[in-house]
Amino acid sequence: MHAFEDGDYDGFIVWADARDDDRVALDITITAGARKGDVVSVSARALHGEPVALVGLPCTLRVQDGVPHVEIE
Protein backbone atom coordinates (compact mmCIF):
# COMPACT_ATOMS: atom_id res chain seq x y z
CA MET A 1 0.00 0.00 0.00
CA HIS A 2 1.18 3.49 -0.76
CA ALA A 3 1.12 5.96 2.11
CA PHE A 4 -1.80 8.34 2.19
CA GLU A 5 -0.92 11.99 1.90
CA ASP A 6 -1.83 14.22 4.86
CA GLY A 7 -5.48 15.22 4.70
CA ASP A 8 -9.02 14.06 5.41
CA TYR A 9 -10.61 11.15 3.56
CA ASP A 10 -14.30 10.23 3.65
CA GLY A 11 -14.91 6.53 4.02
CA PHE A 12 -16.93 3.74 5.51
CA ILE A 13 -15.92 0.74 7.54
CA VAL A 14 -16.16 -2.53 5.62
CA TRP A 15 -14.70 -4.76 8.35
CA ALA A 16 -13.68 -4.56 12.01
CA ASP A 17 -11.93 -7.20 14.05
CA ALA A 18 -10.84 -7.19 17.72
CA ARG A 19 -7.17 -7.81 18.43
CA ASP A 20 -5.56 -9.20 21.58
CA ASP A 21 -3.90 -5.87 22.46
CA ASP A 22 -7.19 -3.97 23.02
CA ARG A 23 -7.03 -2.60 19.49
CA VAL A 24 -9.47 -3.01 16.65
CA ALA A 25 -8.31 -3.65 13.09
CA LEU A 26 -10.43 -1.63 10.66
CA ASP A 27 -10.72 -1.94 6.88
CA ILE A 28 -11.95 1.36 5.48
CA THR A 29 -13.06 2.05 1.89
CA ILE A 30 -12.43 5.61 0.74
CA THR A 31 -15.62 7.02 -0.80
CA ALA A 32 -14.56 10.31 -2.42
CA GLY A 33 -11.67 12.11 -4.04
CA ALA A 34 -8.59 10.84 -5.82
CA ARG A 35 -8.30 7.78 -3.53
CA LYS A 36 -11.96 6.76 -4.03
CA GLY A 37 -12.28 2.97 -4.00
CA ASP A 38 -9.02 2.40 -2.14
CA VAL A 39 -9.21 0.18 0.93
CA VAL A 40 -6.92 0.97 3.83
CA SER A 41 -6.35 -1.11 6.96
CA VAL A 42 -5.67 0.70 10.22
CA SER A 43 -5.42 -0.26 13.85
CA ALA A 44 -7.50 1.77 16.29
CA ARG A 45 -7.92 1.89 20.05
CA ALA A 46 -10.39 3.44 22.46
CA LEU A 47 -13.38 2.08 20.52
CA HIS A 48 -16.33 0.92 22.59
CA GLY A 49 -18.70 -1.95 21.91
CA GLU A 50 -18.50 -4.91 19.58
CA PRO A 51 -16.24 -4.35 16.55
CA VAL A 52 -18.76 -5.89 14.14
CA ALA A 53 -21.20 -3.09 15.08
CA LEU A 54 -18.81 -0.66 13.34
CA VAL A 55 -19.24 -2.31 9.94
CA GLY A 56 -21.08 -0.02 7.54
CA LEU A 57 -20.58 3.15 9.56
CA PRO A 58 -19.28 6.28 7.83
CA CYS A 59 -15.99 7.64 9.07
CA THR A 60 -13.27 10.14 8.35
CA LEU A 61 -9.68 8.99 7.99
CA ARG A 62 -7.47 11.89 9.05
CA VAL A 63 -3.79 11.65 8.20
CA GLN A 64 -1.45 14.12 9.86
CA ASP A 65 2.33 13.84 9.58
CA GLY A 66 1.77 10.40 8.07
CA VAL A 67 -0.15 9.13 11.11
CA PRO A 68 -3.77 7.99 10.54
CA HIS A 69 -6.63 8.75 12.94
CA VAL A 70 -10.17 7.48 12.48
CA GLU A 71 -13.25 9.47 13.45
CA ILE A 72 -16.44 7.45 13.35
CA GLU A 73 -19.54 9.48 12.57
* Residue type (1 letter), 12: F
Burial per residue of 18-57, b for 16 or more beta-carbon CB atoms within 10 angstroms, e otherwise: eeeeebbebebbbeeeebeebebebebeebeeebeebeee
Span 38-56, average pLDDT: 91
Q: What is the pLDDT of residue 2?
A: 60
Mean pLDDT of the chain: 92
pLDDT at 11: 98
Residues 37-54: what's their mean pLDDT?
A: 90
Residue 54's SS3 state is helix
